[in-house]
A and B are shown apart, each in its own frame.
Chain A
């Protein structure tokens, strides 16, 4: 599917190949990074780093894996390294203070505004989901529910994507059910 890019690569026209690849994968890499890191600014920085790595790696890429597989692998590795670095530096906590603040104030939000309390506060519930569920469900919706795309980007089988999605949804529904029902 990336034949045009492969052609440029074969001709060692790195600049043209990279330009096409950037155009095609920039947003996908960013969305994958965002679903892994949960932070827009960091996802943007990582996307820059990923494309620098891709640029440097282009001459060594020999088309063994498909181009998309190669790009997504670099993206996942870069982001997971960043997550490990974050975990190793407790000052930049994995427990995002902004999220904790929101989480703490859930009951208040629900009792003060019955109208919005009836709505599901998706962001708060997502923040409480186990990591593996949240990654899949986030990417699934960011990628307009394209199952195969999500499977390729996370490098997991299609069946696993479905299973994780189901579990994530059931978990979210359980959370929603546990909320105190707003008094009318």
Chain B
């Protein structure tokens, strides 16, 4: 008992059994089922399967106390917090945090300035030490046409100038920023 329906009719027979076949297509398929034993058998088997599935696959039913148990669980859990409440609470927390931050900063406004200055000082010392270490190599990079004394002066003057620029820049950073339109 092998099921070998004609390939070109197979899908349409499935549709026919499921009452999904367009009315216009039905006569052709039904006529074929009359003359083709394999397709006829296929259709009968499908119909039997459909009947068996309809009979066997009946929906399970929830117990009668399902809702009551669910509501009890819901009462046990807290009521849902409306989304608007959450947003409001978040806003409050953020506002509190910002206020805390401001109160921390206000009385100690000189502290960041001192730390700032200290950092620049450390930077300057490190840069100076590096400059001393690499002075001969830097001097060798300058044009040979300059006299030896001239090269030393150029190096010293150049580095002093850079340090001065950075220092002034750091000290008047805020004013500079405002003048340039930053922040």
Contacts and interface: CB of A to CB of B under 8 A. Distances in A.
Interface of A: 12, 14, 22, 26-27, 30-31, 34, 40, 43-44, 47-48, 51-52, 55-56, 58-60, 119-120, 122-123, 126, 137-138, 141-142, 145, 162, 165-166, 169, 172-174, 176-177, 181
A26 B63 CA distance: 11
Contacts of B74: 52, 55
B70 A141 contact: no
B1 A181 contact: yes
Contacts of B55: 122
Nearest to A123: B56
B62 A26 contact: yes
B73 interface: yes
B42 to A, nearest CB: 8
A40 B122 CA distance: 74
B137 interface: no
Given A26-B67, A48-B69, A59-B82, A173 B60 contact: no
Instruction: Report the interface size class on chain B.
Output: 35 or more
B91 to A, nearest CB: 17
A176 B56 CA distance: 15
A122 B70 contact: no
Interface in B83-131: 83
Contact of B3 (A14, A30, A165, A174): A174
B54 A141 contact: yes
A142 B77 contact: no
Given A52-B77, A176-B45, A181-B1, A40 B60 contact: yes
A36 to B, nearest CB: 13
B53 A59 contact: no
Nearest to A145: B18
26 contacts: A22-B70, A26-B66, A26-B67, A31-B60, A44-B63, A47-B62, A48-B69, A52-B73, A55-B74, A55-B77, A55-B80, A119-B52, A120-B49, A122-B55, A126-B57, A137-B53, A138-B57, A141-B53, A141-B54, A141-B57, A142-B57, A165-B18, A173-B3, A173-B46, A176-B45, A177-B45
B166 interface: no
Contacts of B70: 22, 48, 51-52
B80 A58 contact: yes
A44 B73 contact: no
B80 A169 contact: no
B80 A176 contact: no
